[in-house]
Amino acid sequence: MFRLISLVIISVWSFGVVRSAAILEGRPYHDEPYYPTDLDGANSSKYRELSAGLKWSKSLLTYNIINYPAVVPREVIGSTIRQAFDAWSAVTNLDFMEDADAGRVDIQVSFEGMNHYRRGVPCQFSQEITLAHAFFPEAGDIHFNTKYFFTDDTSIEQFLNTAVHEIGHSLGLLHSSSRDSIMYGAQLNNFLSKPQPEDIQAIQAIYGVRSETRPTTPTPPTTRPTSKTPKPRTTTKLCSLQSFDTIVIDHRGDICVLADRFYYNLNETNPPARKLSAKWPKLPPKVDAAVTYRDQKTYFFKGQQYWKYDRRQLEERYPRPTAVGFPGVPPNLDAMLLVKGGGFLAFKDQQYWFYDTRKAKPVEWYYPKSTRSEFAGFPERLDAALVTPEGRRFIFSGLRYWEIDDNSNVIGREGNVRRDWFNC
Ligand SMILES: [Zn+2]
Ligand SMILES: [Zn+2]
């Protein structure tokens, strides 16, 4: 998804001296860098996360202008930013409120140099020619490049245009290929000052048409109904397990079998059932699939979402939709298997998809393929798949398992999970 955002950068520009507004034509508002360090392309340790497709879960958003350029009166900046927020608020069900508590606002607006910080974490414009950049929901912060705001030749019209564009990103909009859209990826000379028909349609698809009455107070967050049925207190011994959800090697190299709300560490002798939440806080029961990538981050998939852990810590803003982090990979997976060159195989029913992290379009059009036609002797359905630290690849179905030859994709002899893995 994030690849949609990366800009087609205008070939070669000499930006040593910017003299007229005309030369600004075609300059990117922002570009979203793509760091392939993580399996899902997100690198949240640098706050580079791109959450396109996500939205704000509330309708009243607060903002604060953290700093001001010296050469323009503060009121001018304040009223222009206000005008930009109002332009969006006029067409969709969102309200924006300036809040003096800069640390707690939803959207921090600031003027920054090439290298700067966002809420204490290093942030930078990935190119000198970047006018501004913004974080997607629910991060939202907007940084204007001080190199361009405000020098002698930048106008309020240009600033307003940039602000409306960046707020569009803060609210979850991607770039448009249409030059008539405020979300066009580069600044044009006509300096649109508000969302255009296409943009209005896009924002209303996320937050709805502006309703007549505007809420005056923030709506309290709705609490989810909780299940009244008490959860069973008894745990199943490893050797009594009839089935399990998945197997994953954790960041320490321990092989963990996950079953419902519990996990068993196979590197212990007679491992007890331990609570999932004790090891991976906030991880739901009954996960579909899991994998630990080479950077030691562990990913769990369930339904339409995935959870990403840095050791035992759930990374910020997870879970995320699988469709956003791994475009082309279906929901409700059965198992995932890392492959040598990068990427993974995703299994579901009798089909599989190859997700190649090195490619701009990670899943080719000819997927899914049939497991049984590609792998001789493949079981009907998988529960789990695992690559050992030595690089051996295993697939699991119920209490049976098979090893796959890494080069030939030939499935080996069927083995007994209880005997060989559980040591029962
Ligand atoms: Zn943009
Ligand atoms: Zn920044």
251-304 tens-digit pLDDT = 888 899 999 999 999 988 889 999 999 999 999 999 999 998 877 889 999 999
Among all ligands shown, which has an atom nearest to the Cα of 117? 2
Separation CA 363–CA 50 (nearest Å):
19
What's the confidence (pLDDT) of residue 283? Answer: 95
Distance from the CA of 31 to the center of ligand 1, in angstroms?
7
- Rounded to whole angstroms, the Cα distance separating 337 from 43 reads 22
How many CA atoms within 13 Å lie on the side-chain side of 314? 17
Residues 173 and 251 in one domain: no
> What pLDDT sits at residue 320?
85
Which of 184, 207, 230 terminates a domain? The answer is 207
Ligand 2 center to residue 170 CA distance, Å? Answer: 13
**Could you say which ligand is closest to the alpha carbon of residue 114?**
2
pLDDT digits 0-9 by tens, 102-153 = 889 999 999 999 899 888 888 888 777 888 888 888 888 999 989 888 876 6
How many Å apart are CA 284 and CA 159, to the nearest integer? 45
Q: With beta carbons less than 8 A apart as the criterion, state whether 198 and 181 touch.
A: yes
What Rg do the C-alpha atoms of the chain give, in angstroms? 25
Distance 409 CA to ligand 1 centre (A): 44
Between 385 and 222, where is the model more confident? 385
Ligand 1 centroid to 28 CA: how many Å?
Answer: 7
**Ligand 2 center to 133 CA (angstroms):** 6
pLDDT tens, residue by residue, 154-183? 788 989 999 999 999 889 888 888 889 998
Residue 340 lies in a domain: yes
Going by C-alpha positions, the residue among 177, 214, 219, 218 that lies closest to residue 198 is 177
Q: How many A from CA of 186 to the centre of ligand 1?
A: 7
Query: Are 198 and 180 contacting, i.e. CB atoms less than 8 angstroms apart?
Result: yes
> Is position 247 within any domain?
yes
The interaxial angle of helices 156-170 and 74-89, nearest 10 deg, is 50
Give the active site residues: 166
Ordered DSSP codes for 53-94: T---SSSEEEEEE----TTS-HHHHHHHHHHHHHHHHTTBS-
201 shares its domain with 246: no
Give the CATH number for residue 163.
Answer: 3.40.390.10
On whether both 85 and 166 belong to a single domain, the answer is yes
CATH code where residue 254 lies: 2.110.10.10
Q: Which ligand has its closest atom nearest to the C-alpha of 166?
A: 1
- Geometric angle at alpha carbon 48, from 358 and 53, rounded to 5°: 80
Q: What is the pLDDT of residue 25?
A: 35
> Which DSSP helix (H) or strand (E) runs through 159?
helix 156-170
- Let me know whether 181 and 276 are in one domain: no
Tell whether 251 and 183 lie within a shared domain: no
228 lies in a domain?
no
**How many structural domains compose the chain?**
2
pLDDT tens track for 179-221: 899 988 888 888 899 999 999 999 999 999 987 654 444 444 4
Same domain, 256 and 138: no
* Centroid of ligand 2 to alpha carbon of 154 (angstroms): 20
Domain that holds residue 332: 238-420
Query: CA–CA distance from 371 to each of 85, 347, 385 (Å)?
Result: 51, 8, 14
Q: Which ligand is nearest to the CA of 111?
A: 2
121 lies in some domain? yes
Predicted confidence at residue 274, as pLDDT, reads 94
Same structural domain for residues 38 and 163? yes
Q: Which strands form 335-338's sheet, in the order they lie side by side? A: 335-338, 344-348, 351-355, 369-370
177 plus 84 within the same structural domain: yes
Does 227 fall in a domain? no
Among 207, 229, 246, the domain boundary falls at 207
Ligand 2 mean position to 323 CA, how many Å? 26
Q: How confident is the model at residue 9 (pLDDT cuts 50, 70, 90)?
A: very low
Ligand closest to 31 (CA) is 1
Residues 134 and 77 in one domain: yes
pLDDT digits (tens, 9 = 90+) for 323-373: 888 888 999 999 999 887 678 899 999 999 998 877 777 888 889 999 988
Could you tell me the distance, in angstroms and rounded to a whole number, from the CA of residue 334 to the centre of ligand 2?
A: 38
CA dihedral (284, 290, 295, 297) in degrees, to 10, reads 0
Residue 29 pLDDT level (bands cut at 50, 70, 90) = low
Q: How far is the CA of 300 from the centre of ligand 1 (A)?
A: 31
Q: Going along 272-375, which residue ranges are E strands? A: 274-275, 289-292, 297-302, 305-310, 313-314, 320-321, 335-338, 344-348, 351-355, 369-370
Of 207, 227, 254, which closes a domain? Answer: 207
Tell me whether residue 214 is in a domain: no
Ligand nearest to the CA of 121: 2
In this predicted structure, the answer to whether residue 34 has a pLDDT above a threshold of 50 is no
Residue 226, in any domain of the structure: no
In a domain, 404, yes or no: yes
Same domain, 188 and 282: no
Neighbours of 373 (CB within 10 A): 9
What pLDDT shows up at residue 51?
39
Query: If you measure from the C-alpha of residue 29 to the centroid of ligand 2, how many angstroms do you get, rounded to a whole number?
Result: 12
**Residue 306 and residue 260 share a domain:** yes
Do 128 and 198 sit in the same domain of this protein? Answer: yes
Q: Which residues surround ligand 2, an ion (CB under 5 A)?
A: 123, 143
